[in-house]
Amino acid sequence: MPIRAVLIDLDGTLVDTAGEIGRALTRTLDDFEIVPLRQDEVTALIGKGVRALVERALAKREAAGLDAEAVVERFHHHYRETVATDATLYPGARTGIDRLRATGIRLAVVTNKPRSYSERLLAYLDVASRMDALVAGDDGIARKPAGDMIVAACRRMGVRVDDALMLGDSDNDVLAARAAGCRVWCVPYGYNEGRPVESLACDRVVSSIEEAARLLASA
């Protein structure tokens, strides 16, 4: 079946946000007089949302007794200041997006990140206008790994789920695609909690969004 829509995960697939997240977490831990984590340690914790990031960071510093809600709230305070300051598109992302659009494939971002952060990132990187839909983590829809966000994105674009492809970097993306009933490809450079992309039960591994676009254009 031809692909009519590509649903792209945000953090770790479309955009490299690890540096911004790392700075916000460092400032948060500083507020609670906790020794910050190295950037590679932070990157390995990304993928399950802010609360999981905070809880796992506290566990690594043996500070799990702190009020996690207070730490999460402080993280959001700092992340509002760091988001969309130096995030970058991954190599091949813009070219891939433009190629997909040129072939008539509809595009959506499907992310567990809150809408305000997601919109700021897409605008900052000048790709918001290239997307036909955005489904975000606080839209009131069950988040990945549930399949509901994928189904919602397809409805907004007017395509069938089985005509769509999820493009992601983590187990969350694969599980969501399987739950929704669409195909899923993964990139190897993202935030799969430090696990290799080979550990993901996806349909194909592609080196970049650009490669995905090339393969779909030639299908």
In the chain the domains, ranked by start, together with CATH numbers, are 5-16+87-218 (3.40.50.1000), 18-82 (1.10.150.240)
**Structure confidence at residue 130 (pLDDT):** 97
- Environment class of residue 2 by beta-carbon count within 10 Å: exposed (0-12), middle (13-18) or buried (19+)? exposed
**CA-atom Rg of the chain in angstroms:** 17
CB 182 within 8 A of CB 162: yes
Q: Is 9 a catalytic residue?
A: yes
**Structure confidence at residue 41 (pLDDT):** 95
**Structure confidence at residue 60 (pLDDT):** 93
CA–CA distance, 160 with 168 (Å, rounded to integer): 19
Residue identified by tokens 């695609």 is: 177
CB 122 within 8 A of CB 11: no
Total Cβ atoms within 10 A of residue 196: 9
**Structure confidence at residue 49 (pLDDT):** 83
**Structure confidence at residue 192 (pLDDT):** 85
**Structure confidence at residue 6 (pLDDT):** 98
**Structure confidence at residue 219 (pLDDT):** 77
**Structure confidence at residue 64 (pLDDT):** 76
**Structure confidence at residue 194 (pLDDT):** 79
CB 182 within 8 A of CB 160: no
Residues with pLDDT less than 70, the chain: none
Q: Which position among 9, 11, 169, 171 bears the catalytic label? A: 9
